[in-house]
Amino acid sequence: MKLLRLILVIALLVCPVVTGRAGDGVDHEQSSEIDVGEILFGHIGDSYGWHITDWKGKHVTIPLPCIVHSSTGWHFFMSSKIEHGHEHEGLFIAGEGRYEDKIVERGADGELVRPFDISITKNVASLMFAAVLLISLVLATTRWYRRHDASEEAPQGFAGLMEMMIMMVNDDIIRPSVGEKHYRKYSPYLLTAFFFIFVCNLMGLIPFFPGGANVTGNIAVTMMMALFTFIAINVFADKHYWKEILWPDVPMFLKFPIPIMQTIELFGVISKPFSLMVRLFANIMAGHMMVLGLVSVIFVTVKLGPVINGSMTVIAMLFGLVINCLELLVAFIQAYVFTMLSAVFIGMAHQEEH
Amino acid sequence: MNLMLPDSGLLFWMTIIFAIVFFILAKFGFPIITGMVDKRAKRIDEAIAAARKAEESLAGLAQEQERLLSEARTEQARILQEAAVQRDNMIVQAQEQAREEAKKIMDEAKARIQEEKEAALRDVRKEVALLSVTIAEKVVRKELSTDKGQMELIDRMIDDLS
* pLDDT tens per residue across span A80-101: 888 777 888 778 888 777 777 7
pLDDT surpassing 50 at residue A28: no
Residue B145 in domain: no
pLDDT range class, residue B78, cuts 50, 70, 90? very high
Main-chain phi, psi angles of A74, to 5 degrees? -80, 140
Looking at the domain assignment, is residue B129 inside a domain? Answer: no
The size of the A-B interface in CB pairs under 8 A is 132
Position A31 scores a pLDDT of: 41
Q: How confident is the model at residue A20 (pLDDT cuts 50, 70, 90)?
A: very low
CB A225 within 8 Å of CB B18: yes
Higher pLDDT, B62 or A303: B62
* Average pLDDT of span A187-193: 92
The verdict on B25 touching A (C-beta cutoff 8 Å) is yes
More confident: A50 or B22: B22
Amino acid A7: pLDDT: 66
User: Is B25 within a domain?
Assistant: yes
**Residue B34 covered by a domain:** yes
DSSP state of A115: P
Q: What is the ipTM for the molecules in this complex?
A: 0.84
**Is A207 part of a structural domain of the chain?**
yes
For residue A157, pLDDT over 90 is answered with no
Q: What is the mean pLDDT of chain B?
A: 89
Q: Which residues of chain B make contact with A138, given a CB cutoff of 8 A?
A: 25, 29-30, 33
Are residues A247 and A163 both part of a single domain?
A: yes
> The domain containing residue B86 runs over which residues?
8-118
Spatial CB neighbours of A185, under 8 Å, sequence gap ≥ 6: A236
Q: Does residue A3 form part of some domain? A: no
Q: Find the residue in B nearest to A125 (Cα).
A: B13
Helix H or strand E encompassing B54? helix B30-143
Task: For residue A224, list chain B residues with Cβ-Cβ distance below 8 A.
Answer: 11, 14-15, 18
Quick one: average pLDDT of A223-232?
92
Nearest-CA distance A158 → chain B (Å): 13
Examine the domain organization and report whether A109 and A212 are in the same domain: no
Contacts of A82 (CB under 8 A, 6+ apart): A48, A66, A88, A91, A92, A93, A103
Q: How far is B38 from chain A (nearest CA, A)?
A: 9
Same domain, A131 and A100: no
Task: Please provide the DSSP assignment of A327-338 as one string.
Answer: HHHHHHHHHHHH
Q: Nearest C-alpha of chain B: how many angstroms from A18?
A: 31
Cβ neighbours of residue A36 under 8 Å, at least 6 residues apart? A293, A296, A300
User: What's the CA gap between B30 and A41, in Å, rounded?
Assistant: 37
pLDDT at B19 over 90: yes
Residue of B nearest to A102 (CA): B7
- Selecting from B10, B22, B34 the residue whose C-beta is nearest the C-beta of A187 gives B34
- The residue segments making up the domain with residue A72 are 65-117
Type of residue numbered A66? C
Per the structure, the count of domains in chain A is: 2
CB atoms within 10 A of CB B72: 10
| A41 within some domain | no
Residue A354, domain member (yes or no): no
The pLDDT of residue A26: 41
pLDDT over 50 (residue A199): yes
pLDDT at A354: 46
* CB-based contact, B47 to chain A, within 8 Å: no
Burial class from Cβ neighbours inside 10 Å (0-12, 13-18, 19+) for residue A167 reads middle
Best to test chain A binding among B1, B8, B13 (most A CBs inside 10 Å): B13
Q: Does pLDDT of A146 surpass 90?
A: no
| B11 in contact with chain A, both atoms CB, cutoff 8 A | yes
Q: Which residues of B104-119 are buried (b: 16+ CB within 10 A; e: fewer)?
A: eeeeeeeeeeeeeeee
Helix (H) or strand (E) holding A116: strand A116-117
Q: Which residues of A touch B40 (CB under 8 A)?
A: 150-151, 154
Cα–Cα distance list, A110 to A106, A107, B40, B107 (Å): 5, 5, 68, 164
Residues 105-144 on B with a CB inside 8 Å of A are: none
> DSSP secondary structure string, A46-101?
--SSEEEEEETTEEEEE--EEEEEETTEEEEEEGGGGGGG--BTTEEE--SSTTTT
Among A148-157, A166-175, A232-241, the minimum mean pLDDT is found in A148-157
Q: Is B43 on the interface with A (CB under 8 A)?
A: yes
User: CA of A151, closest CA in chain B: separation in Å?
Assistant: 4
Whether residues A174 and A295 share a domain: the answer is yes
Predicted confidence at residue A19, as pLDDT, reads 47
pLDDT value for B86: 94
What's the average model confidence in pLDDT over A14-32?
Answer: 46
Better pLDDT: B64 or A46:
B64
In a domain, B152, yes or no: no
The three-class DSSP label of residue B133 is: helix
* Continuous H helices in chain A: 2-28, 36-44, 122-147, 157-168, 175-178, 183-205, 219-235, 239-246, 260-300, 306-348
In a domain, A331, yes or no: yes
pLDDT for the residue A33? 66
Query: Which residues does residue A59 pair with via DSSP β-bridges, in sequence order?
Result: A54
The predicted model gives B107-127 an average pLDDT of 91
Contact A155, A246 (CB under 8 A): no
Q: Is B22 on the interface with A (CB under 8 A)?
A: yes
Task: Tell me how far apart the alpha carbons of residues A318 and A307 are, in angstroms, rounded to a whole number.
Answer: 17
Secondary structure element (H or E) that encloses residue B120, with its range: helix B30-143
- Whether residues A108 and A168 fall in one domain: no
Report how far residue B34's alpha carbon sits from residue B40's, in angstroms, rounded to the nearest whole number.
10
pLDDT grade for A9, boundaries at 50, 70 and 90: low
CA A298 to chain centre: 25
Q: How far A208 CA lies from chain B's nearest CA (Å)?
A: 21
Percent of chain A with pLDDT over 90: 28
Mark whether A92 and A152 lie in a shared domain. Answer: no
| Domain match, A148 and A205 both | yes
B53 pLDDT exceeds 90? yes
The reply to whether A15 falls in a domain is no
A215/A83 same-domain check: no
Residue A285 lies in a domain: yes
Contact A151 B1 (CB under 8 A): no
**How many domains is chain B partitioned into structurally?**
1
Chain B residues close to A187, C-beta within 8 Å: 30-31, 34
- The band of B162, judged by pLDDT with boundaries at 50, 70 and 90, is confident
Q: What is the pLDDT of residue A30?
A: 42
Q: Report the pLDDT value the prediction gives residue A325, as an integer from 0 to 100.
A: 92
| Residue B135 covered by a domain | no
Q: Is residue A48 part of a domain?
A: no
β-strands A112-113, A116-117: how paired? unpaired
Chain B CB contacts of A189 under 8 Å are 22, 26
Residue with the larger pLDDT of the pair A262 and A99: A262
Tell me, yes or no, whether B87 lies in a domain: yes
Chain B residues whose beta carbon lies within 8 Å of the beta carbon of residue A118: 8-9, 12-13
Q: Output phi, psi for A62, to 5 deg.
A: -85, 120
- Do A91 and A217 belong together in one domain? no
State whether A247 and A315 are in the same domain.
yes
Nearest-neighbour CA in chain B from A308: distance (Å): 32
| Cα four-point dihedral sign A323, A329, A332, A338 | negative
- My answer on whether A75 and A108 are in the same domain is yes
Claim to verify: residue A81 and residue A223 sit in the same structural domain: no
Mutate to test the interface with A, among B33, B44, B48 (most CBs of A within 10 A): B33
Q: Can you give the pTM of this predicted structure? A: 0.75
